[in-house]
Structure formats: C-alpha cells, structure tokens
Structure 1
Amino acid sequence: MSDHFNRVTHINPDDPHDVALWALVLDVTPASVYAAVAEVGTDAEAVQAHLMGKSSSAGSGG
C-alpha cells in the first residue's frame, strides 16, 4: 500500500541541503555528516550507526 512513498535511505553529499537535513535528523553538524559519509558511505543507517558510535567522543581526532 505504501510502496508509492519513497523512503530516502541515502545521503547525497553533493547536495548541501540534503546534508543539512540529515544533520538535523541525526542531531549532528553537517561536517559530521560529511565525515561519516566519507568513512562509511552514503547509506543513512550506516551513517547513523557510525555517528552513534562516535557520539561520546565528538571532536576526537581518532
């Protein structure tokens, strides 16, 4: 029934508006979204999991 509603599951790092939206959704900075996409790819669930794993060490250099 809800097949006609496309669920966005990927982050487009080439679209600053998309990155800003995901930053709001994930409660992080756009820079964090870009960094996570660079590390794990554009899959939104993978980015979220990556960011959740780093949430306690925000700003750490690795």
Structure 2
Amino acid sequence: MVSLTPSENINAGKPWSEVELKDIREFAPLMTSQELADYLGRSEEEVIAKVDEMGLEFGV
C-alpha cells in the first residue's frame, strides 16, 4: 500500500495532471476520499468531485 503523508493541499485549484488522473483510477477503489486527497495534495471536495466526474467510486 502507498504510504500516506498528510499534505496541505499543495495542488488545490491546479489543473489535474495525467499522473493524478492515473493515480485516481488506480487508488480510488482502494482508499477513502480523505486518504486519496491527502495523497494527492488536494482538498477532499476536489477529489470527490473528480472521482464522481470520472464515474469511479471509492472502495473503502
């Protein structure tokens, strides 16, 4: 599993990178929304919206 370190939303408001989108597809089914937000350095609200937009669901 990926080691998670809480971030300070360093990427909040930035356009989504291809790497982030790949990570969302890979990790959303394995993480909670808050875990994924921390991993990506995004707000939980941003991550929830993007996961929904991509038609994915959180697995935990």
Shared fold (TM-score, shorter chain, > 0.5): no
TM-score bin, normalised by smaller chain: 0.3 to 0.5
TM-score, normalised on structure 2?
0.42
More helix by share: 1
Q: Identify which of structures 1 and 2 has the higher relative contact order when contacts are C-alpha pairs closer than 8 Å and 6+ apart.
A: 2
TM-score, normalised on structure 1?
0.41
Rg larger in structure: 1
